Amino acid sequence: MTVLRILHLYPAELGINGDAGNVLALAERARWRGIDVETVAHAPGAELPPSADIVHIGSGPLSGQRAVHQDVLRIAPRLREWRDAGVPILAIAGGWQLLGTELETAEGEVLAGAAVFPTRAALGPKRHVGEVVARLADGTAIAGFENHSARTVLEGAEPLARIVSGTGNDGSTEGVVVGASIGTHLHGPLLPMNPVLADRLLSTALRAELPPVPQTERVDRYATNARRAIADRLGVSL
């Protein structure tokens, strides 16, 4: 690969929680390692690029989700092909819900999803708004902010993390992992606040270890402080 291509799905419709920062973090962390980056924004109705190295879809309200729903179904086969080929897909909250198997609205309407993730979300009357600390399988703590009204069932898939404080999928688990792809409710944005996940996605896409460089060491100190501040406010340890 000469240029790392990051495909950003629906930046105009989905991304009200600052999720575009995830794309910025991926691009900057790659550039700081000397890698050329191209970010391609995809809008409903447009042609997809022939290939992608990382795919990102952000979050949004039901109106934004509806605005892209038909296009999500149109591009679903390509997304599943990329997932199966090991291309990391990062899907945040409402974007993740559309990439699951089904999204049920609070009124009981069922929207078919892209089935990139074997997960089903049902929106309810209660919104879950607040900070979250959760632990990855290896014990690493991640932190962020959730703002959704979903209860999410993982139909046999592995969660991204176990909840320490917050709601996440169901009060006990948060997010999902399928191969190299991740679905999560976390904003912050997720990747600037949890650089371990940013480098995990980049390492997979680049098939290379990514040692720290002075620029990543600097911003990672800010991220550590931000996660610590969240844990302190929630009264939990990282």
Ligand X SMILES: NC(=O)CC[C@H](N)C(=O)O
The span of 3-11, 33-41, 58-66, 226-234 binding ligand X (CB under 6 A) equals 58-66
Q: Which residues are catalytic, by number?
A: 187
| Backbone torsion region of residue 68, taken as left when φ is above 0, otherwise alpha when ψ lies between -120 and 50, otherwise beta | alpha
Nearer to ligand X, 96 or 202 (CB): 96
Contact assessment for residue 160 and residue 183, using Cβ atoms and an 8 Å cutoff:
yes
127 annotated binding-site participant:
yes
Instruction: Tell me which residues in 62-81 interact with ligand X (CB under 6 A).
Output: 62
Checking 221-225 for CB contacts under 8 A at 24+ apart, the result is 223/192, 223/193, 223/194, 223/195
Q: Is 149 in the site for ligand X (CB under 6 A)?
A: yes
Q: Is 148 in the site for ligand X (CB under 6 A)?
A: yes
User: What number of other Cβ atoms are within 10 A of residue 48's Cβ?
Assistant: 16
Size of the site for ligand X (CB under 6 A): 13
Q: Is 59 in the site for ligand X (CB under 6 A)?
A: yes
The span of 27-35, 40-48, 143-151, 173-181 binding ligand X (CB under 6 A) equals 143-151
The first and second tokens of residue 207, run together, are 């098939």
The span of 43-51, 91-99, 157-165, 211-219 binding ligand X (CB under 6 A) equals 91-99
Binding residues for substrate: 127
Residues that bind ligand X (CB under 6 A): 17, 59-62, 93-94, 97, 123, 147-150
